[in-house]
Amino acid sequence: MQSDKKNFIFDGANSSNLNFVAQKLKKLPKDLKYSIIPGNKNVIEELNKYPDKIGVIGLNTISRPYDKNAEKLRELIKILPVESKGKLFSPDFEGLREMKYPFTRVLYFLTNEGNFNIASGFIRYSCTQLGQIIVQKEGLQPYNIYRREVQMR
C-alpha cells in the first residue's frame, strides 16, 4: 500500500474497507496508495481489466451461499489469504469466528432508546438462536450458534 503502482483497488475513498485496512496498518487513508472502483460488485466485475491489481471487498458481498448474484461474483474471483506473523489466514467461517483472520470486524448494535422499543427488540431478536441462524443464512458469521447433535435410536 506504499507502492506508486497502486496495486490495491478499493470500493471508494471513504469506504469502510479502506478505513479499516488503514486502521490495521496504523496509517491514515490519505497516506496509502490505492485505486478506486466505486462499489464492491463493480470492483469484482472490473478487476479482470487489471490483472496485476488486487481488489479489496467486504466478505458479505460474496458470502451468501445460495444467492445467485453472489455465486456469479465468486466465480469471477480468487480469494487470497492474508499473511500475519508468518502465518496465512483465509476469510473462512472458522477463522472469522475465532477472530484469527487479521481483518475481522465485530458488529455492535448501539441504541439510545430509554426503554424497550423497536431497536432494542431487534437487538434482542438478532441475538437469539433464530436471529443468529438468519445472520448465518445471509452469509455473515454468527456469534452465538452452538452445534446441536441429535442421537436417534
Give the pLDDT band of residue 81 (cuts 50, 70, 90): very high
pTM to 2 decimals? Answer: 0.73
Domain hosting 118: range is 106-153
What would the pLDDT profile of 48-72 be if each residue is shown by its tens digit? 999 999 999 988 889 888 889 999 9
* Domain boundary residue, one of 97, 114, 129: 97
Strand partners, 84: 87
> Does 117 have pLDDT greater than 90?
no
What would the pLDDT profile of 30-39 be if each residue is shown by its tens digit? 999 999 999 9
Q: Are residues 39 and 91 in the same domain?
A: yes
Q: Are residues 144 and 75 in the same domain?
A: no
Q: Are residues 141 and 80 in the same domain?
A: no
Total tally of structural domains belonging to the chain: 2
Ranges assigned E (strand) in the chain: 8-10, 35-36, 54-55, 82-84, 87-89
Q: Are residues 31 and 87 in the same domain?
A: yes
